């Protein structure tokens, strides 16, 4: 299976985080916060697959573009980035050795954690995380 980073979704997630459209929840909340199949279908009906894909950090090139299976590694609820979704995606990407996705999600994780600890006045300027070591670890593979 060929899964690669969806750069458009990665950029979208960074924009949402910088705008403060986030939920700073814990890892275990994703099963409850993740959109249901009905919510996914309704979103696709209203917005199409192109917008649907902006909420998934992975693209499976072996599946047709106009299918849900083409998109993997969700990170939000079609409105906000969920920390629990990012943590879940980071773990799964590492498990399946999708290093480009794992590194991108680690970056989002760092952005969220920086906002979590930032004073309210500084939350509009979420900094990039200090994840260089992780990226360097996988860059040679």
Question: What's the confidence (pLDDT) of residue 118?
Answer: 66
What pLDDT sits at residue 35? 97
Of 112, 137, 93, the closest CA to residue 5 belongs to: 93
pLDDT digits 0-9 by tens, 21-72: 999 998 889 999 999 999 999 999 999 999 999 999 999 999 999 999 999 9
User: Higher confidence at residue 126 or residue 12?
Assistant: 12
Per-state percent for the chain, helix, strand, coil, to nearest 5: 60, 10, 30
pLDDT category at 141 given cuts 50, 70, 90 is very low
Whether pTM exceeds 0.85: no
Average pLDDT of the chain, as a whole number? 87
Q: What is the pLDDT of residue 62?
A: 96
Rounded to 10 degrees, what is the CA torsion of 95, 101, 103, 107?
A: -120
- Asked if residue 137 has pLDDT above 70, the reply is no
**How far is C-alpha 51 from the geometric centre of its chain's CA atoms?**
14
Q: Which of 132 and 66 is assigned the larger pLDDT?
A: 66
């Amino acid at each position: 299976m060929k899964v690669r980073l969806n750069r458009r979704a990665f950029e979208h997630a960074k924009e949402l985080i910088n705008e403060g459209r986030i939920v700073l929840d814990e890892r275990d909340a994703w099963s409850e916060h993740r959109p249901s199949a009905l919510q996914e279908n309704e979103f696709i009906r209203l917005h199409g697959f192109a917008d649907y894909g902006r909420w998934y950090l992975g693209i499976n090139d072996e599946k047709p573009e106009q299918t849900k299976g083409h998109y993997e590694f969700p990170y939000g609820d079609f409105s906000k980035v969920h920390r629990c979704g990012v943590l879940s995606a980071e773990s799964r990407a590492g498990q399946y050795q999708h290093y480009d996705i794992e590194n991108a999600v680690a970056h989002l994780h760092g952005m969220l954690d920086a906002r979590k600890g930032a004073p309210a006045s500084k939350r509009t300027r979420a900094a990039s995380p200090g994840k260089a070591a992780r990226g360097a670890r996988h860059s040679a593979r």
